[in-house]
Each structure stands twice: as C-alpha cells, then as structure tokens.
Structure 1
C-alpha cells in the first residue's frame, strides 16, 4: 500500500460526496472517523440534487463546490428535505462528539450548470482553487471495484489521493487489484452499503396498510431515529412511487 504523508503541516481536507437521499449513519461514520482518527483536519460533505434548471450542492463545513446536472444517479427527494436531513445529521454528530464543535457548518449554494462535474475534474479544481490545502476523496470500500469506470478513471486512480473506509473485519485482499495508487484505509463501525433502502421504505409502507412502520422497515442502525422521524413527519419517499 502506498502511504501518503498524513503528518503534513498543510491542512488536510476530506471530500465526501453523495446524494444523501437520505443520509445514512454509514455516510456520517466515514466523515466522523476520518476526523477522529486524525486522517484529515476537515471534511467537506456535499450532495447534488436537481431543482428544475438549478442544481444545488450542500456542504457540511463552510466551503462550496460548483456542480452540474447529475445524470448518473437520480435523486428522489426535494432539495429542502435533503438539506434539512443533512443539518440533522450534522447536529447529531456535534452532539455526540463535542470535539467537532465548530467544524460542522451547513451551507448551501445554487449553481447553474448543464453538466455533471465528475470526481476527477472536481478534485483537480479543488487543488487549483485551494493550493494551500491537501485534498483526499473519501469513499466506502464497495465503490473501489468500479473506479476505473468513472469519468477519467485512469487519471483518477493515478493522481487523486483516497481515504477508503471499511469495517474492521473486512477482507481487504479481495480488493488488491482495484486500489488506486495513493490511498489510506480507515476503519468504520457501520455497514457502508445501504442499497435499496428507499425501496424498502416504500414496500414496508404498502405492507403496513399505507402507514409508516416505526423503523420504516429498515435494518436497525441504517438511519438515525431523528432522520427516521423526519421522513415520517414529512411523508417522504412513498409519494414518489
């Protein structure tokens, strides 16, 4: 494994992107453990959503990144709801870890753009606009095998530094042929994968006579109770199916 310098005097910024529809405990755990394990000094967390002709990117931590139309992954929830859920997740993290006070700030910006900004040019843009910082892309282990298929995948795996999160008992050797050139592994304690959780919510709702189950029918520990409560109170996901 290539080990890049994590003791740099330059501020280290972890970039965690996603749709966060909704934000799971696993998403937050990657950000939290990157900070608590002192792999990075800050995490900028953002997601893309579509709002007619305007796209918005939400960031925990003050910084703002322009983004374009998301064509590879459809979002399901109105921007205002996903922003509110990100705020809830950030506040929960602060309450659980007072040492992170002042590092979790929600901010949003509307950016007009008619195209996606893929990970590689986005990270290069960060490097150009903030040359005083070192940037690392945070991701769950389950995305490793597909990295080369991302836009400019070869450049991505050769030039960008990664922090890859997985559970302590994960068998990492199965990913040996897929790791990028520069990476650091960190342990997290929640399940990274959250596939089909929106479908699970809808199926549970229908099976429960069109009412929400108290746990939304999801696996325990996937979403925080405050996020679950917000989904129920605002009748999210079930109206879209």
Structure 2
C-alpha cells in the first residue's frame, strides 16, 4: 500500500454507550485514542434502548443532551491540545426503533463512510470481556476494528472467557498504526490508559452525596445540565 493510500484513508472513532451520565473517563478515552490513531472524526453514539441495562435508564433524549454537553468540554480540550479530530454526537441509535444493537450500528456506519474507511470502535476492557453477550457479536470484526483501554479490576489476562481469548487470537495486533491502515478486523489493547470511573457509581453518588461529586469525575457542562434538569436525585 502506498503512502498516499494510507494518508487518504478516513479514520473514524466510535464511542458507544448509555452515557447515563457521560463522565470524564469517556473523555479521557476519547482523547487518548483520537491522538493515538490520528482520528479524522470521533462519534459519540448514545444508545436508544440499551437492552442489557434493565429498567430505570434516563430517557434517550436526555442522555443525548448530556452527551452533547460533554462534547463541548471535549471540543475545548481538543482545541487546547491541538487535536484536529472532529467531534460528533450521533443519533443513529436513538432514532432507530427497537433495541440498540451494535451490529446494526456498525453496518449503518459502514454504509455511511464506505468500505475503505477505518472504523474503530473504542471501548474499555470490561466491554470486551462482555462482548460475547452482544447480539451477533462475532460479526462485528467484519465491519470495525476495536481499540480497547485497560480498566482497573477488568484484566483481560485473567479473564477465563474462551470466546474472548479466541477472538484475540484471531484479531489482536500489537501495532496501533495497523488500525489506521486497515478498515476492519483488528483489535488493539492499550495498557497505558486506565480509568476507574463508572456511570453507575456516579449516579449513586449523585443520589446520596450530591455535593461531593468531584469536577474531575463529570464534565463541567454535563454536571451543570444535570443540576439544571434536577437529574439523579
């Protein structure tokens, strides 16, 4: 492959999740991988109907607003750090009727960006460990690459899931630049970023010790919106 072909390939990062609420860990992961992979664009994809999360989820529209607010803080960080990656908050799952399946999302994004673009799904190690529970999970590498950030207490090395081990055996690469130059089918595990934040724990903290939430845990614009809307009380 020529240098021209490599440089002309679009690199799109995809960060899906419930974002109930989005937290600084999401922004740190996004920033790290935007720099590492020289992403042209980074899409936050709030889930519409997060079928694995049970009941009590904040409405999709409100979670979309919270993610938009987090995107403002991220855009300011990118400007300060001189990261040229464009940021988008995508309604693809919110506007789609029915449960939010990643397989439907990656197929639609592949159609949108074309066969040559490198689509890189960003996730934490806990999400990779649970990947075999996702709908049609084994088809996902046919559409996207995966970039996985380590998380405390979610070590892949000690995970006994044979399906995940087989997935890594077939798709893992140690070279992050390989994801820039290949459209799909690779998994890169990054051990340099470890973020120990949880939306579930933050919701509980907002309910029980609202004034003790640290500004370092929730993006400032998101926290402001949470207070304005009276969420998580």
Q: Note if contact 1:194-1:222 (Cα within 8 Å) is conserved in structure 2.
A: no
User: Counterparts of 2:154 and 2:201 in 1: how far apart (Å)?
Assistant: 22
Name the CA shift for 1:101/1:161 in 2 (closer, same or farther; >3 Å).
Answer: closer
The answer to whether structure 1 residue 201 and structure 2 residue 196 are counterparts is no
Q: For each residue in 1:176-234, what CA deviation from the matched residue of structure 2 results, as whole angstroms up to 9, or x when unmatched?
A: 85253220123335325443321232223xxxxxxx42x34x6x732134433332232
Q: Note if contact 2:18-2:50 (Cα within 8 Å) is conserved in structure 1.
A: no
After TM superposition, the structure 1 stretch with the greater mean CA deviation from structure 2, 91-100 or 192-201, is 192-201
Partner of 2:57: 76
Name the CA shift for 1:169/1:92 in 2 (closer, same or farther; >3 Å).
Answer: same
Aligned with residue 156 of structure 1, among 140, 150, 155: 140
Partner of 1:233: 228
Determine helix, strand or coil for the equivalent of 1:97: helix
Partner of 1:88: 69
User: Counterparts of 2:154 and 2:34 in 1: how far apart (Å)?
Assistant: 21
The answer to whether structure 1 residue 222 and structure 2 residue 217 are counterparts is yes
Q: Which has the higher strand share?
A: 1
Q: For each residue in 1:117-155, what CA deviation from the matched residue of structure 2 results, as whole angstroms up to 9, or x when unmatched?
A: 411232133223422422121111111221112111233
Q: Which runs of 5+ in 1 are unaligned?
A: 1-6, 50-68, 205-211
Name the CA shift for 1:172/1:102 in 2 (closer, same or farther; >3 Å).
Answer: closer
Deviation at 1:78?
A: 4.2
Length, aligned pairs only: 202
The TM-score normalised by the length of structure 1 is 0.68
Q: Note if contact 2:45-2:89 (Cα within 8 Å) is conserved in structure 1.
A: no
User: Counterparts of 1:117 and 1:8 in 2: how far apart (Å)?
Assistant: 33
Higher relative contact order (CA 8 A, sep 6+): 2
Q: Which runs of 5+ in 2 are unaligned?
A: 1-5, 172-185
Partner of 1:122: 105
Partner of 1:208: none
Superposition RMSD in Å: 3.2
Q: Which has the higher helix share?
A: 2
Deviation at 1:39?
A: 5.2
User: Counterparts of 1:117 and 1:167 in 2: how far apart (Å)?
Assistant: 24
Q: For each residue in 1:47-78, what CA deviation from the matched residue of structure 2 results, as whole angstroms up to 9, or x when unmatched?
A: 124xxxxxxxxxxxxxxxxxxx4433246334
